[in-house]
Amino acid sequence: MSTIWIKQPLAIFTGNKSDARGGMVISQGKIVELVPVGQTPTHAVDESFDAQNLVVLPGLINSHHHFYQTLTRAWAPVVNAPLFPWLKTLYPIWAKLNPEQLHLATQVALAELLLSGCSYAADHHYLFPQQLSDAIDIQVQAAQSLGMRVMLTRGSMSLGEEQGGLPPQHTVQEIDTILRDSERLISRYHDRGADAMVNIALAPCSPFSVTRDIMRESAKLAEQYDVRLHTHLAETIDEENFCLDQFGMRTVDYLESVGWLNSRTWLAHGIHFNPDEIQRLGQAKVGICHCPHSNMRLASGICPTLDLIQAGATIGLGVDGSASGDASNLILEARQAMYLQRLKYGAEKVTPELALGWATQGSAKLLGRDQHLGEIKVGFQADLAFYSLDEIKFSGSHDPIAALLLCGADRAQHVMVQGKWVVKDQQVLGIDLEKLLADHRQAAKALLAA
- CA 244 – CA 289 distance, rounded (Å): 23
Q: Percentage of the chain surpassing pLDDT 90?
A: 98
Mean pLDDT of 109-136: 97
- Give the single-character DSSP code of 362: I
Report yes or no: 280 and 251 within 8 Å, Cβ to Cβ. Answer: no
Confidence of residue 322 (pLDDT cuts 50, 70, 90): confident
pLDDT at 288: 98
Mean pLDDT of 341-355: 98
pLDDT at 1: 74
Mean pLDDT of 136-162: 97
Question: pLDDT (tens digit, 9 = 90+) per residue, 4-26?
Answer: 999 999 999 999 999 999 999 99
pLDDT at 66: 97
Q: Is 149 exposed, middle or buried (0-12, 13-18, 19+ CB in 10 A)?
A: buried
CA distance to 130, 216, 217, 235, per residue, from 243 (Å): 29, 16, 19, 12
- CA 434 – CA 353 distance, rounded (Å): 35
pLDDT at 324: 86
- CA 199 – CA 211 distance, rounded (Å): 25
Model confidence at 222: pLDDT above 80: yes
pLDDT at 179: 98
pLDDT at 80: 96
Question: pLDDT (tens digit, 9 = 90+) per residue, 363-389?
Answer: 999 999 999 999 999 999 999 999 999
Mean pLDDT of 440-447: 98
C-alpha count within 13 angstroms, C-beta hemisphere, residue 292: 24
pLDDT at 202: 98
Question: pLDDT (tens digit, 9 = 90+) per residue, 167-178?
Answer: 999 899 999 999
Confidence of residue 84 (pLDDT cuts 50, 70, 90): very high
Question: pLDDT (tens digit, 9 = 90+) per residue, 290-301?
Answer: 999 999 999 999
- CA 117 – CA 113 distance, rounded (Å): 7
User: Mean pLDDT in the chain?
Assistant: 97
Domains in the chain with CATH codes? 4-58+375-428 (2.30.40.10), 60-366 (3.20.20.140)
pTM recorded for the entire structure: 0.98
- CA 304 – CA 449 distance, rounded (Å): 40
pLDDT at 220: 98
pLDDT at 450: 87
Look at 74-78, 105-109, 167-171, 195-199 and tell me which has the smallest mean pLDDT: 167-171
Model confidence at 56: pLDDT above 90: yes
Model confidence at 72: pLDDT above 80: yes
Q: What is the dihedral of CA 50, 52, 55, 61, to 10 degrees?
A: 20
Question: pLDDT (tens digit, 9 = 90+) per residue, 278-288?
Answer: 999 999 999 99
Model confidence at 393: pLDDT above 80: yes
